[in-house]
Chain A
Amino acid sequence: MKKYLNVIAAYSIMLLLIILVGIFQSWTTALTIFNYCMISAVMTMGANIQWGYAGLINFGIMGYTALGGLAVVLVSVAPVPEAWEAGGLNMMFCILVIAGIVFSIRYVLKKIKNSKQRNYLVAAIIIGGLILIRIISGPAIESIEAVEPAKTGFLGGLGMPVLFSWIVGGLFAGGLAYIVGKIALGLRADYLAIATLLIAEIVVSVIKHEDWLARGVKNVIGLKRPVPYEVDLQGTPWFINLVEKFNSGKLNLINSVAEKQDVLKQLVIDASSVYVKLCMAGLFLSVVIVLLIITQKALYSPWGRKMRAIRDNEEAASAMGKNIVKEHLLIFILGSAVVGIAGAMMVTNDGLFTPGSYRPMRYTFVIWVMVIVGGTGNNFGAILGGFFVWFLWVQAAPIALFLINLFTAHLPETNALKIHLIESAPYFRFLMIGIGLLVVMRYRPQGILPEKIIKQ
C-alpha cells in the first residue's frame, strides 16, 4: 500500500480537480474534460510504450491519430453505391497497381546487386507507377467527387458498427508503423524524431487532400455512435422517470403543473447530455483499464525486462543474442497501434472527422509533454500525465484570465495593456505547458511518477 501512496495521492488530486470543475462550471464540461483526458491517456500510453519501454522517440503521433480517425469513417459510414459505381473499380485497380509497385520494388531490391542499377530501376518503377495511377484514378476520382459533392462525394465506408473501427484504427496505425519502422528505425534518436514527424505530415496531407477517400477538408459529420443520442433519450419514458426520481425533492417544491413540466423538461435535456457522456466515459474507461492491465503485465514480464535491457544498453543486449532491430520494430508497431485506437476513440467521441485539425502542435508535441511530465516508463505516470496536461490545456485560459484580472485589478478597464492581455488569454496555455515541461525536465527529469523497477 505504502508503495503506491504517491500514485493514489496524484490520482485523487486529479479526480478532485475534475470534480471541482463539475461543481463550479458544469457537469457536462467536467465530463467532456474527463473523456478527453482518457483519450489523451490512451495516446500517452502508446507513446510511453515506445519511449518509456524501448527509448524510441516517435514524433509521428499525429499521423497515427489521423489514421485511427480515418478508420472510423471507413468502417462505420454507410457505403455510397453511386460513388462505387462511378469509380470504385478504378480505385480498386489502383490499389492493385500500388501493390504491384511494392512487390516489384522488393523484387528489384532482392535480385539486383549492382547498387547504381538498382536505384535507377527503383526510381523508374516509382515514377512509372505514379503516372499509371494518375492515368487510372484521375477520371475515377473526378466522377466519385461529383456524386452529390455537398453530402457525399466519397466512396463511403463499410457500414459496420463503430466500435469495430477502434480495432481497425489500431490495425491501420500498426500497419503504417510497420512501414515507417522499416524506413526510419535505424536512425539516431533525434533523426528518428524528425523523420517520423515528417512522415506523419505526409500521411495527414494525403488524408486531407484525397477527397474520394474521406471527403478531405470538407469533413465527415454525423458519424455513428456506440451510445444513444440525446434526442432519442429525451423521448424515452424510462429515462424521464429516472430523472424525475433523481430530482423528486426539487420537483416537489414546485406547485404548478405546467411549471413542473417545464423544469422537468430542462432537467431531462441536461441529464441526457450527461448520460451520453457517462456512457462514453464508461467505454473509454474500460479501454484504459484493459490497456493498463495488458501494459503492466507486459512491462513486468520477461519481454518487458528484455525491452528495458535493450533500452538501457543496446550493445549488451545485442551481445546477449537479442534481435534489436526486430524488437524495436515490434514495439514501434504496438505503441502506434495504441495511438491509433486513441485516434478512433477521439473521432467517435466527437462524432465528426476533420482532417484539417490534425496539427503537430496539438497531436504530437502536447502528447509528448504528457509523457515527459507524467513519468516515462511508468504506465500510471503516463495516464496521469495525459489527465493532468489535458486538464491544464483546457483550463489554462480561465486560469490565465483569473490571474490577469488579479494582477491588473488596480488598472482601469480601458487600460490598453489590460485589454491586450485579456484578449491574448488563450495563448497563455502554450506558456504554461512550455514552462511546465521545462521545469519538469530540469528538476524532476523522470516525471511526476517515476519508473519503478520491481526486483524479482
Chain B
Amino acid sequence: MDFLNALILLLNYTIIPALTYGSQLALGAIFVTLIYGVLRFANFATGDMMSFGTMFAVLLTFYFQSLGISLGVLPTALLTIPFAIVMMILYMLTIDKFVFSYYRIKKSPPVQLAMVSVGVMFVTQAIIRIIIGPFDRRFLDGEKFILKAIEFKEMTGLNEGLTIKSTQLITIIVTLIVVSVMFWFLNKTKTGTSMRAYSDNEDLALLSGIDPKKVVMLTWIIAGVLATVGGVLYGLDKSYKPFVYFNNMLPIFAAAIVGGIGNPFGAFLGGYVVAFGEIFITYAYKKFFTYILPEHLEPDSLMQLLSTDYKFAVSFSILVVVLLFRPSGIFKGKIL
C-alpha cells in the first residue's frame, strides 16, 4: 500500500505524456475544425501543412545554430516559430488563391473540396521531401530536462522517479497561451465574432456586411499559427519526420470529430480525450497495482487492456464509438 508512489508512477508514465501529446493533437484539431467550420471542408492536407511549417522552423533552427544565435536554456526553435508562421501563412494563402478559392466561389460540394485537398496534400508532401528530404531530424537544443528522475528521488525519498522534460512543459504552456489568445480573439473581438457569424450562417453574415474575403484570410492566418506551433511542438518533443506528420493527421481528425467538428473548444478537449484514451488503455498497470494492492493480491499479468502496438487503433476506436452514439461529437459540433 503506497499511494504516493502509485500516484507518481501514473503521473510520470501516463498523465504528463498524455497532457503533452494531447496539447499537440489539440492544436491540430482546432486547425482542422476551423477550416471545417469556416471553409466547410475536411482538409486532408492537415498533417502535411503542419509538416510544412515545421520544416521552416527546422531549417531556420539549423541556420541560427550556425550563426551562433540561441535562447540559452530554451530551444532555438522557439525563436524561429514567428518566421515559420509567416512562411506557412504565405503558403496557405497562395494555395487558397490558386486552388481552394475557385471551388469556394463556385460553391462546390464539400466532397469536391476534400478531394482537392488530397491534391494539395500530394503537392505539399512533394515540396517538403524535395526541400528537406524524408529523413528523421532532431532540432531540440538547450536544456533537455527540468526534473530528472534521480533528482526527484533524492528530493522526496520515494521509490518512483518523476521526469519532466523541458519540451513537455514548453508544449503545455505554449498551447495554453496560443489557445487562450485564440479563444479571446474568437469570442471577444469584433473580427472574431464576424468569423463565428460567417461560420454559423454564411448568407446572413454576408447580408450584415461581413467581408467574406477577410474572414477567409483570417481563418488561414489563424490556421497557419496553429499548424506551425502544433507541428514545431510535436517535432521538439519527438522528432521531425515528414511521414510521421502525415500519419498524425489521423488522430488529429479523430480528436476534431470526437470533440464535435466545427467547434474549436470541442476540438481542444477532443485532443486530450484521444490522448488520454490512447495512453490509459495501452498502459500496463502491473506496477501500479503492486503499489496499491496488498501483497497477496498482486497481479501476475501485465494488467494491460491492449498492447501499445494498438495506440493509434485506440484513438480510432474512440472515434467509432463517438460516431455510433453521438455523431455530432461530445460537444455538439458545428458552432464556431
Q: Which residues does A use to contact B, with CB under 8 Å?
A: 57, 119, 127, 130-131, 134, 138, 183-184, 186-191, 193-195, 197-199, 201-202, 205-206, 208-209, 360-361, 365, 368-369, 372, 421, 423-424, 427-431, 433-435, 437-438, 441-442, 445
- Decide if B309 touches A208 in the complex (CB within 8 Å): yes
Stretch binding the partner chain, chosen from B23-31, B53-61, B104-112, B143-151: B104-112
Which A residues are in CB contact (< 8 Å) with B112?
A: 441, 445
* 5 new A-B contacts at CB < 8 Å, known A205-B313, A360-B250, A430-B122: A206-B310, A206-B313, A365-B121, A427-B134, A434-B125
- Which residue of A57, A197, A421, A427 is within 8 Å of B111 (Cβ)? A57
- Decide if A198 touches B130 in the complex (CB within 8 Å): no
- Chain A interface secondary structure, helix, strand, loop or mixed? helix
Interface centre among B99, B111, B307 (most CB of A within 10 A): B111
Which B residues are in CB contact (< 8 Å) with A201?
A: 250, 312-313, 316
Stretch binding the partner chain, chosen from B6-14, B179-187, B317-325: B317-325
Instruction: Tell me, in angstroms, the Cα distance from A423 to B131 when the chains sit together.
Output: 11
- Decide if A198 touches B99 in the complex (CB within 8 Å): no
Which B residues are in CB contact (< 8 Å) with A189?
A: 109-111, 114
Q: A187-B323, A198-B253, A202-B313 are in contact. Are A431 and B42 (CB under 8 A)?
A: no
Which B residues are in CB contact (< 8 Å) with A427?
A: 125-126, 129-130, 134
- Decide if B126 touches A431 in the complex (CB within 8 Å): yes
Q: Which residue of B lies closest to A180 (CB)?
A: B320
Q: Which residue of B lies closest to A423 (CB)?
A: B133
A interface footprint on B15-34 (CB within 8 Å = 1, 0 otherwise): 00000000000000000000
**Shortest distance between the CB of B102 and any CB in chain A (Å):** 7
Instruction: Tell me, in angstroms, the Cα distance from A416 to B320 when the chains sit together.
Output: 49
- Decide if A424 touches B119 in the complex (CB within 8 Å): no
Instruction: Tell me, in angstroms, the Cα distance from A369 to B121 when the chains sit together.
Output: 12
**Shortest distance between the CB of A427 and any CB in chain B (Å):** 4
Which B residues are in CB contact (< 8 Å) with A372?
A: 115
- Which residue of A202, A206, A424 is within 8 Å of B130 (Cβ)? A424
Determine whether B120 belongs to the interface, using a CB cutoff of 8 Å to chain A.
Answer: yes
- Decide if B319 touches A198 in the complex (CB within 8 Å): yes
- Decide if B253 touches A194 in the complex (CB within 8 Å): yes
- Which residue of B119, B125, B305, B307 is within 8 Å of A130 (Cβ)? B305
For this complex, 23 residue pairs linking A to B, each with C-beta atoms less than 8 Å apart, are: A134-B305, A186-B327, A189-B110, A189-B114, A190-B42, A190-B114, A194-B42, A197-B253, A198-B253, A201-B312, A205-B310, A205-B313, A209-B307, A209-B309, A365-B121, A368-B115, A424-B133, A431-B130, A434-B119, A434-B120, A441-B112, A442-B99, A445-B112
- Decide if A199 touches B120 in the complex (CB within 8 Å): no
Determine whether B217 belongs to the interface, using a CB cutoff of 8 Å to chain A.
Answer: no
- Decide if B320 touches A199 in the complex (CB within 8 Å): yes
Q: A201-B250, A202-B313, A365-B118 are in contact. Are A195 and B319 (CB under 8 A)?
A: yes
- Decide if A430 touches B42 in the complex (CB within 8 Å): no
Determine whether B116 belongs to the interface, using a CB cutoff of 8 Å to chain A.
Answer: yes
Q: A209-B310, A424-B133 are in contact. Are A438 and B116 (CB under 8 A)?
A: yes
- Decide if B115 touches A441 in the complex (CB within 8 Å): yes
- Decide if B122 touches A433 in the complex (CB within 8 Å): yes
- Decide if B110 touches A361 in the complex (CB within 8 Å): no
Question: 5 nearest interchain CB pairs?
Answer: A434-B122, A431-B126, A430-B126, A434-B123, A427-B129
Interface centre among A187, A188, A193, A208 (most CB of B within 10 A): A193
Which B residues are in CB contact (< 8 Å) with A195?
A: 319-320, 323
Which A residues are in CB contact (< 8 Å) with B41?
A: 190
- Decide if B122 touches A199 in the complex (CB within 8 Å): no
Determine whether B225 belongs to the interface, using a CB cutoff of 8 Å to chain A.
Answer: no
Which B residues are in CB contact (< 8 Å) with A184?
A: 320, 323
Interface centre among B99, B125, B306 (most CB of A within 10 A): B125
Determine whether B66 belongs to the interface, using a CB cutoff of 8 Å to chain A.
Answer: no
Which B residues are in CB contact (< 8 Å) with A183?
A: 320, 323-324
Q: Which residue of B lies closest to A192 (CB)?
A: B111
Determine whether B204 belongs to the interface, using a CB cutoff of 8 Å to chain A.
Answer: no
- Decide if B250 touches A424 in the complex (CB within 8 Å): no
Determine whether B77 belongs to the interface, using a CB cutoff of 8 Å to chain A.
Answer: no
Which A residues are in CB contact (< 8 Å) with B116?
A: 438, 441
Q: For chain B residues 252-273, which have a beta carbon within 8 Å of chain A?
A: 253-254, 257, 261
**Shortest distance between the CB of A365 and any CB in chain B (Å):** 6
Which B residues are in CB contact (< 8 Å) with A193?
A: 42, 111, 114
Q: A187-B327, A205-B313, A209-B307 are in contact. Are A198 and B119 (CB under 8 A)?
A: no
Determine whether B189 belongs to the interface, using a CB cutoff of 8 Å to chain A.
Answer: no
- Decide if B119 touches A428 in the complex (CB within 8 Å): no
Interface centre among B112, B120, B261, B316 (most CB of A within 10 A): B316
- Decide if A368 touches B118 in the complex (CB within 8 Å): yes
Which B residues are in CB contact (< 8 Å) with A198?
A: 250, 253-254, 316, 319-320
Interface centre among A127, A190, A199, A431 (most CB of B within 10 A): A190
Instruction: Tell me, in angstroms, the Cα distance from A435 to B119 when the chains sit together.
Output: 7
Instruction: Tell me, in angstroms, the Cα distance from A441 to B102 when the chains sit together.
Output: 11
Q: Which residue of B lies closest to A372 (CB)?
A: B115
- Decide if B257 touches A191 in the complex (CB within 8 Å): yes
Determine whether B127 belongs to the interface, using a CB cutoff of 8 Å to chain A.
Answer: yes
Instruction: Tell me, in angstroms, the Cα distance from A127 to B306 when the chains sit together.
Output: 11
Determine whether B208 belongs to the interface, using a CB cutoff of 8 Å to chain A.
Answer: no
Determine whether B152 belongs to the interface, using a CB cutoff of 8 Å to chain A.
Answer: no
Determine whether B246 belongs to the interface, using a CB cutoff of 8 Å to chain A.
Answer: yes
Determine whether B156 belongs to the interface, using a CB cutoff of 8 Å to chain A.
Answer: no
- Which residue of A127, A206, A360, A428 is within 8 Å of B126 (Cβ)? A428
**Shortest distance between the CB of A249 and any CB in chain B (Å):** 47
Which B residues are in CB contact (< 8 Å) with A119?
A: 325
Instruction: Tell me, in angstroms, the Cα distance from A356 to B312 when the chains sit together.
Output: 15
- Decide if A190 touches B110 in the complex (CB within 8 Å): yes
Which B residues are in CB contact (< 8 Å) with A434?
A: 119-126
Instruction: Tell me, in angstroms, the Cα distance from A445 to B111 when the chains sit together.
Output: 13
Instruction: Tell me, in angstroms, the Cα distance from A131 to B112 when the chains sit together.
Output: 43
Which A residues are in CB contact (< 8 Å) with B119?
A: 369, 434-435, 437-438, 441
**Shortest distance between the CB of B130 and any CB in chain A (Å):** 5
**Shortest distance between the CB of A342 and any CB in chain B (Å):** 20
Which A residues are in CB contact (< 8 Å) with B110?
A: 188-190
Q: For chain B residues 298-312, which have a beta carbon within 8 Å of chain A?
A: 301, 305-307, 309-310, 312
Instruction: Tell me, in angstroms, the Cα distance from A255 to B111 when the chains sit together.
Output: 68
Q: Which residue of A lies closest to B128 (CB)?
A: A427
Instruction: Tell me, in angstroms, the Cα distance from A187 to B261 when the chains sit together.
Output: 13
Which B residues are in CB contact (< 8 Å) with A130?
A: 305-306
- Decide if B120 touches A438 in the complex (CB within 8 Å): yes
- Decide if A202 touches B316 in the complex (CB within 8 Å): yes
Instruction: Tell me, in angstroms, the Cα distance from A402 to B316 when the chains sit together.
Output: 43
Interface centre among B42, B99, B124 (most CB of A within 10 A): B42
